[in-house]
Amino acid sequence: MNTNSMTPIDWAKRPVTEKYADFSGRAPRAEYWWYILGAIIVSVIARIIDSIVGLNVVGPYGLLSLIVMLGLLVPNIAVSVRRLHDTNRSGWWILLPIVPYALAIVLAGPAIMTGSVGAGIGIAALLMFVGFICGIVVLVFMCLAGTPGDNRYGPNPYGGDGVAVAAE
């Protein structure tokens, strides 16, 4: 499909219908952000249906919400990796905010289970703050324009040597 003639709906569907588990290549801003908007809308609708039907299984999440979350997990990661590739960055950058949060859970978990407050909680709070800052860094990467022309991850998704600013 010619990317210059794609509608927002086409961009939103592309990570699910055409590139479900494709971690190679590049995803322009239009593909990434329209997909994210579509995923949010589908998730909200699923939560509303779960609330109406009363299918809450895990906290506020119902069966339909969990199915949607699991179904969109792989395309979420794949389109994020391809978006980072478009900015000429490794897909491993998506782990940047996850690592501090995981370390915080490991440090604070035993303290919370035993009910004791110690240095582990303070370090865990600091790691949570670091994870938040790292999340902002990755968000900025997702907002940046893609590299013009080809880069080490593939050709320009819009084709040609320049970036199609109007389409992005």
The pLDDT score that the predictor gives to residue 112 is 65
User: Residue 164, class by beta-carbon neighbours within 10 Å (0-12 exposed, 13-18 middle, 19+ buried)?
Assistant: middle
The pLDDT score that the predictor gives to residue 164 is 47
Cα(158)–Cα(52) distance, rounded to whole angstroms? 42
The pLDDT score that the predictor gives to residue 124 is 82
The pLDDT score that the predictor gives to residue 161 is 53
Return the half-sphere exposure (C-beta side, CA atoms, 13 A cut-off) of residue 51: 7
Segment (H or E) for 62:
strand 61-62
Cα(59)–Cα(140) distance, rounded to whole angstroms? 31
Cα(39)–Cα(25) distance, rounded to whole angstroms? 21
Q: DSSP character for 60?
A: T
* Residues of the chain below pLDDT 70: 1-4, 111-120, 160-168
The pLDDT score that the predictor gives to residue 26 is 94
Rg of the chain taking only CA atoms, in angstroms = 19
Residue pair 91/85 in contact (Cβ under 8 Å)? The answer is yes
Cα(70)–Cα(135) distance, rounded to whole angstroms? 21
Q: DSSP character for 57?
A: E
Residue whose pair of structure tokens reads 């995923």 in the numeric block: 39
